[in-house]
Amino acid sequence: MNIFVCLKQTPARDSVIRFADHGKRIDESGLTYELNEPDAFALEEGIRLKEENGGKVVVVSVGPERAIAVIREALAKGADRGILIENDESFQVDAFAIAKALAAVLSEESPDIVLTGLQADDLGFGQTGVILAELLNLPHASIVVKIVEISDGSIRVRKELESGWFQNIDMPLPALLTIQSGTNKPRYATLMGIKKAKTKPVEYYSIRDLGVEPLRSQTIENFYAPPKTKETQFFEGSSREAADKLAEKLKFEARIL
Amino acid sequence: MSVLVVAEHHGGKWHKMSWDTLVAGQTVAALLKTELSALILGAQIEPLAAELATHRVDRVFVAEHELLSEYSSDGYTIAIQQVIGRVSPDLILFPHSYFVRDYGPKLAARLNRSFLNDVIDINVKENCIRFTRQLFQGKINADVTFSDDLPHFISIQSGAYRGDTLEPTGNFAPVEKIDVTIDPTDIRTRYGEWFRESKSKVDLSSAEIIVSVGRGIKDPKHIPIAKGLAEALGGELAASRPVCDNGWLPLERQVGSSGQTVSPKLYLAIGISGAIQHVVGMKGAEKIAAINQDAGAPIFEIADYGIIGDLFEVVPALTEAILAIKED
Ligand SMILES: Cc1cc2nc3c(=O)[nH]c(=O)nc-3n(C[C@H](O)[C@H](O)[C@H](O)COP(=O)(O)OP(=O)(O)OC[C@H]3O[C@@H](n4cnc5c(N)ncnc54)[C@H](O)[C@@H]3O)c2cc1C
Ligand SMILES: Nc1ncnc2c1ncn2[C@@H]1O[C@H](COP(=O)(O)O)[C@@H](O)[C@H]1O
């Protein structure tokens, strides 16, 4: 099986986001990065598919030079080949452009299955996989929580619906799946894996050479802290003092004690 | 500019977000001083179309087809593409439902357009429309404009506009049928019945007090800290998704868009950041209290009471304080 997994490098979960140029840009200077959370689950799903069905796992990322880190991480965990599509712009780029870049590379390959995360934790589009399926003319399922079975060129997956409902979906391969967080237990890279990763091939492209124009269909005019919708009463002091004040409020104001 | 809202339903019932989206459509149509149409797709949907027509729209379009009796990304994409071809809307609003997540961006891409999801506010200045959406799981807002051609495709976040206040009027807007052609072979995916994993034994929806724990608890061995507080308050224990995904608490205690929706008198969130998918499940609480070490956590945007601090210190102290008050 030819398995492709799309990986995005995003700012670490607990990042404090600062602005630059009066909110025109995100200040990237103090940020550290990690693999987007759902993508770790997509990668694990891809590696398991390889272990069960044979084949190769290729990981693809669009991003600045630093995004090579998520490709190396994936190679260390068992992916076989990496592709980095270089693009310097991290936050002023929309899912349509990213999907076009991924499609330009993937249409030259012959994937049996393409996996993406459901949503990137930074820009929160939740679109790239769905658009990529359209551009590659593949059937897809989104918010997949389980690959139920693969047989005779078709796949059955379980999809999450709203409010705790689920549904199984069958489709022919090749197909694209967007993977929800929490669906498996992503493995750690072993020392051996990290050593092996250094010898695995990585190809580089540039987003512009792939003819992705326009790079931007949407423009972020400004970034800012969200306005508060409620007047929050904050309780300060030591933990004990703050806790005592909150308990008082729960008794006398919220009247729940 | 003309505005079209796509209304969603399942099994003969409206999706609640359809009304939020309709209110968003009414708001933007008023700002643009233009007409508002609504579209409904499916099979045997005359009653729904008639109901839609009484909700302050100028026109209702109905796309009926046997193959639209159940949702499919291929079927919906093909049908709406044909409707767009016929009625040429300039701005199309969708609810940010799981269905729309599944076909909206695909439909836009088929028409060589981008899709703007999860919009919480729309402003018009000198005929330029600015859309507000959240980034970084609700920590940041951004105002966005389109650089590509009309029509623009956007989806509205649940609860961003108040659909629950919308009342039917005595007036019926004209209802117009639009023929769509779909071939059975166009639909590549086969969809099974909806099911729930297991019948939930826990009904959080009737709980008066809920103590809810998030990933800030870090390890299952710390869950008793939260449980102790829940017991002191005489409330139910609930959790955010990662806590249930990790198996630290059972799935039936998950609150949020893919879990339960609750509206207790008090919702006390411990180590929960306040991502929208969590917030939609609990923002109906009468009072919200949050304990989080990050002053910038979005949960504080909706909290009545807040303590910025380490839950491992604050929660035990709060449990003691509450037990002391109760003993008095
Ligand atoms: C389609 C979809 C459906 C989803 N459905 C749901 C759903 O139903 N329910 C749900 O909850 N989520 C859902 N999610 C996930 C959601 O987007 C968030 O990822 C999730 O809610 C985050 O959970 P959290 O707040 O516990 O974790 P995090 O976002 O990691 O937040 C942890 C918080 O703990 C705080 N913290 C850490 N240590 C401490 C400490 N010592 N003291 C005090 N505070 C501390 C941190 O400051 C942080 O704010 C869904 C996502 C998608 C895409
Ligand atoms: N720059 C990128 N490079 C590779 N994959 C990406 C990129 N952006 C998004 N993706 C993939 O698409 C998924 C959804 O991202 P998004 O549509 O941005 O929310 C992610 O989880 C990734 O799997």
Q: Please name every residue paired with A37 in a beta bridge, in sequence order, or none if there are none.
A: none
What ipTM does the predicted assembly reach? 0.96
User: Is the model's pLDDT at B6 over the cut of 80?
Assistant: yes
Q: Could A218 and B194 be called an inter-chain contact, meaning their C-beta atoms sit closer than 8 Å? A: no
pLDDT of residue A14: 86
Nearest to B287 among A123, A214, A254 (CB): A254
Q: What is the pLDDT of residue B165?
A: 87
Q: Are strands A9-11 and A33-35 parallel, antiparallel or unpaired?
A: antiparallel
Q: The pTM is what? A: 0.96
The ligand 1 site (C-beta within 6 Å) comprises A 13, 118-119, 143; B 137, 214-216, 240-242, 254-259, 271-273, 275, 277-278, 281, 291-294, 297, 310-312
CB A166 within 8 A of CB A145: yes
pLDDT digit string (tens) for A145-202?
999 999 989 999 999 999 889 999 999 999 999 999 999 999 999 999 999 999 999 9
Domains B3-186 and B204-327 share a fold: yes
* CA proximity to B137, closest of A121, A98, A31: A121
Domain ranges for chain B, please list them: 3-186, 204-327
Q: What is the pLDDT of residue B179?
A: 96
Taking the Cβ of residue A8 and every Cβ of chain B, the question of whether any pair is shorter than 8 Å is answered with no
pLDDT of residue A163: 87
CA distance linking residue B34 with residue B102, whole number of Å = 29
CATH for B3-186, among 3.40.50.620, 1.20.1420.20, 3.40.50.1000, 1.10.10.60?
Answer: 3.40.50.620
Protein residue whose Cα sits closest to atom 14 of ligand 2 = A119
**pLDDT for residue B108:** 98
Q: What is the mean pLDDT of residues A204-211?
A: 92
What is the model's pLDDT at position B203? 85
Specify the amino acid at residue B142: A
Give the model's pLDDT for residue A215.
Answer: 79
Query: Are the Cβ atoms of B318 and A246 closer than 8 angstroms?
Result: yes
Q: Is the model's pLDDT at B318 over the cut of 90?
A: yes
**What domains sit in chain A, N to C, each tagged with a CATH number?**
2-206 (3.40.50.620)
Q: What is the DSSP string of B223-235?
A: HHHHHHHHHHHT-
Is B179 strand, coil or helix?
A: coil
Q: How far is CA A137 from the centre of its chain?
A: 21
Q: Does residue B74 contact residue B188 with C-beta atoms inside 8 Å?
A: yes
For B250-269, letters b (16+ CB in 10 Å) and e give ebbbbbbbbbbbbbbbbbbb
Q: Which of A200, A222, A42, A249 lies closest to B135, judged by CA?
A: A222
Q: Does B260 touch chain A (CB under 8 A)?
A: yes
Biggest distance spanned by C-alpha atoms of chain B: 72
What's the average model confidence in pLDDT over B60-80?
97
User: Under CATH, what is the fold of the domain B204-327?
Assistant: Rossmann fold (3.40.50)
Q: pLDDT-based confidence at A92, cuts 50/70/90?
A: confident
Find which of A102, A132, A165, A228 to mutate to test the B interface (most B CBs within 10 Å of its CB).
A165
Closest Cβ opposite residue A221 in set B130, B197, B257: B130
What is the average pLDDT across B104-121?
97
Cβ-proximal residues to A238 (8 Å cutoff; 6+ apart), any chain: none
For the ranges A115-119, B64-68, B145-149, B199-203, the lowest mean pLDDT is seen at: B199-203
Using one digit for the tens of pLDDT, what is the confidence trace for A123-141? 999 999 999 999 999 999 9
Residue B198 has pLDDT above 80, yes or no: no
The mean predicted confidence, pLDDT, of chain B is: 95
Q: How confident is the model at residue A228 (pLDDT cuts 50, 70, 90)?
A: confident
Question: B127-184, pLDDT tens digit by residue?
Answer: 799 999 999 999 999 999 999 999 999 999 999 999 988 999 989 999 999 999 999 9
